[in-house]
Amino acid sequence: MVITWRAFAIFLLAAALPAAAPQRIVSTAPSITELLYALGLGDRVVGVTRYCRYPPEAQLKPKIGDYTSPNLEAIASLLPDLVIVQTNPVHLADKLGALKLRVLEINQENLAGIYKSMQQVGAATGTEHQAAQLSDSIHDGLAKVRTRVSSLPRARMMFVIGRSPNRLDGLVVAGRASYLNEVIEIAGGENVFRDALAGYPGVSLEEVMARNPEVIVDMGDMSDTAGVTEEHKRNVIALWNRVPNLAAVKQHHVFAVASDMFVVPGPRVIDAAKAFAEMLHPGLKP
């Protein structure tokens, strides 16, 4: 078979072109979904988890289960040309790879990982420019929060991410390895459990009393944020009022929150930092 120079040139050009940007993307975590929408890729998202609530339009997408127990058949049935996963203990990337699906695995456990994930998703979806702009915007936004609180005294803070319903036991808090530890520091706080090596260690009420936080932010039994009422939040604060010797209780600095922005390591990290700054420094001017 004779190959003409023209055909050879066309072959070389095709080989040099980047792979077509994926048009059918499945997200396996809320943080991934938020990132995809922030990059303007919402119309390419064909599947999300049942916990992907932001932006609201993401809730209309087909569901593939959740982070810890995704439905592989549901994912495959959506015919994705890219599935994005977080590094996780169930080895989801390997299982999807066995199905011959294209998989991108990212790690968003800290701020450096969040920035890197933006670069990786941008490169995989042909949105490098948007990803760079988003990364710069978040970096600048967090820097502004840090500057706002730089001259203020640091307050000792505890973020409760898990708790037995209506009780002050089974406490799970943000530790050093969590991205929340970094956000607390940026907002002008000092995480009282920053010496805990785990990202989210379990602690006792006695340990909390010994460390005596000046600010308590409790998401506790409200991690499933859908349908949380103001009465529920008031009841959470009433729980902590049973421990009147805590500095946070004495100063009325116990906050019950029920927003995914505090636990989804994605583009809304700026909003979380701003909210922390206002809780840590009452009266802080916008």
Shared-domain flag, residues 231 and 171? yes
Alpha-carbon distance of 69 to 225, in angstroms, equals 19
Alpha-carbon distance of 189 to 282, in angstroms, equals 12
Q: How many CB atoms lie within 10 A of CB 130?
A: 17
Mark which of 85, 119, 141 sits at the end of a domain.
141
Shared-domain flag, residues 17 and 93? yes
pLDDT band at 222 (very low <50, low <70, confident <90, very high): low
pLDDT at 27: 97
Per the CB < 8 A criterion, the answer to whether 238 and 109 are in contact is no
Residues 6+ apart with CB under 8 A from 198: 175, 176, 177
Residue 114 pLDDT exceeds 70: yes
Shared-domain flag, residues 15 and 74? yes
User: Which bin fits 50, alpha (ψ -120 to 50), beta or left (φ > 0)?
Assistant: alpha
Write the DSSP string, 149-169. Answer: HTTSPPEEEEEEEE--TTSS-
pLDDT at 1: 41
pLDDT at 101: 93
Alpha-carbon distance of 87 to 102, in angstroms, equals 15
Shared-domain flag, residues 159 and 129? no
Residue 12 forms part of a structural domain? yes
Please tell me the total count of domains within the chain. Answer: 2
pLDDT at 282: 87
Shared-domain flag, residues 157 and 116? no
Shared-domain flag, residues 19 and 105? yes
Tens digit of each residue's pLDDT (9 = 90 or more) over 166-176? 999 999 999 99
Shared-domain flag, residues 11 and 113? yes
Average pLDDT over residues 12-26: 67
Shared-domain flag, residues 218 and 178? yes
Mark which of 141, 163, 178 sits at the end of a domain.
141
pLDDT at 286: 60
Alpha-carbon distance of 37 to 90, in angstroms, equals 25
Alpha-carbon distance of 168 to 229, in angstroms, equals 19
pLDDT at 16: 43
Beta strands 202-203; 171-173: pairing state: antiparallel
Look up the pTM and report it: 0.88
Residue 209 forms part of a structural domain? yes
Mark which of 100, 118, 141 sits at the end of a domain.
141
Instruction: Identify the burial level of 9 via C-beta atoms within 10 angstroms of its C-beta, where 0-12 means exposed, 13-18 middle and 19 or more buried.
Output: exposed
Residue 286 forms part of a structural domain? no
pLDDT at 112: 95
pLDDT at 11: 41
pLDDT band at 19 (very low <50, low <70, confident <90, very high): low
Shared-domain flag, residues 52 and 102? yes
Shared-domain flag, residues 46 and 69? yes
Domain ranges, residue 55: 5-141
Average pLDDT over residues 29-51: 96
Alpha-carbon distance of 277 to 192, in angstroms, equals 16
Shared-domain flag, residues 172 and 204? yes
Shared-domain flag, residues 85 and 175? no
Residue 227 forms part of a structural domain? yes
Average pLDDT over residues 178-188: 96
pLDDT band at 213 (very low <50, low <70, confident <90, very high): very high
User: Does 254 or 70 have the greater pLDDT score?
Assistant: 254
Please identify which residue in the block is written with the tokens 């995480």.
191
Residue 31 forms part of a structural domain? yes
- The CATH code of the domain that includes 81 is 3.40.50.1980
Residue 147 forms part of a structural domain? no
Residue 146 forms part of a structural domain? no
Residue 207 pLDDT exceeds 80: yes
pLDDT at 90: 73
Average pLDDT over residues 178-200: 94
Average pLDDT over residues 62-89: 91
User: Does 111 or 12 have the greater pLDDT score?
Assistant: 111
Residue 89 forms part of a structural domain? yes
pLDDT band at 20 (very low <50, low <70, confident <90, very high): confident
